[in-house]
Amino acid sequence: MAEKSEFSAGLLIGGLIGLGLGLLYAPKPGSETREELRGKADEMGGRLRDTAQDVSERVRSRVREGAGEIATKVKDSYGETSHKLRGAYERGRDAMQQKRQDILETIESNEEN
């Protein structure tokens, strides 16, 4: 994108220099020169608008791509974390049930004695 900005700046500077030289060496009446200047200025403005629009579209596209990548990573991370938490919950539940069973067996064993 920096190359595009440098190109645009070079285009603008080159256009202005050319315009100035044209004014200096133009053997035309002032009204014709002014009309020509308006035309050149309009042309330069159009080029700059086109360049700005192109850069803007590229930036939007890259932002959309980046947002899509981030959304995918977040979704993947969420799924992985959810799976790990579910496994930890199930292991904890199983351990608790086993401990409960052990306690009940100990109580029953103590009651028999």
The first and second tokens of residue 90, run together, are: 């199930």
**13 pLDDT above the threshold of 60:** yes
Q: How many structural domains compose the chain? A: 1
**16 pLDDT above the threshold of 90:** no
> Which range marks the domain in which residue 21 is found?
2-112
What's the chain's average pLDDT? 84
| Residue-wise pLDDT tens digits, 83-103 | 999 999 999 999 999 999 989
Cβ atoms of 67 and 20 closer than 8 Å: no
What pTM was estimated for this model as a whole? 0.43
Cβ atoms of 38 and 89 closer than 8 Å: no
The first and second tokens of residue 85, run together, are: 């938490």
The first and second tokens of residue 105, run together, are: 């067996």
| Residue-wise pLDDT tens digits, 50-63 | 888 888 888 888 88
Note the pLDDT of residue 88.
92
